[in-house]
Amino acid sequence: MTDSLILEVADLDVDVLTGIYSEETGKPQPLRISIAASLKPADRYAADTPLGASKNYMDLKFAATGALPPGVHFKLIEAVADHICETLFLQDDRVEAVTVKIVKLAIAEAGESIGITLRRERR
């Protein structure tokens, strides 16, 4: 059995230009984004282990907020998830896989979660 380390950021509400229908284009839509990044863990984490032995959680948040290019319209939320994955792979060679869950908040009628989950492994 292999050890694993999964860093997570859940339920980020982010306005993103996305959609394929005329009523969706030209204005940001609210998305709820959750990210899990798998890293190979250190052999051991002692009380004084520095942050460099892991990854800053804020990097995950940045990939879903600040790293999304302003003014770019993503037709599919799958493309938003793909951009987040690629951002995290480029940031850190230790990231082995990324899972991104995106829920389109504007289309829920009764509180249901409608969206996608994309899992990418480093190629």
Q: How many domains does the chain have?
A: 1
Secondary structure element (H or E) that encloses residue 100, with its range: strand 95-104
Within 8 A by CB and 6+ apart from 107, the residues are 114
**87/82 Cα distance (integer angstroms):** 9
Kindly report the CATH number assigned to the domain that includes residue 90. 3.30.1130.10
Containing structural domain, residue 98: 5-121
Which pLDDT tens digits describe the chain residue by residue (123 residues)?
Answer: 688 899 999 999 999 999 998 888 888 999 999 999 999 898 889 999 999 888 999 999 999 999 999 999 999 999 999 999 999 999 999 999 999 999 999 988 888 999 999 999 999
**Within the chain, how many helices (H) and strands (E) appear?**
2, 4
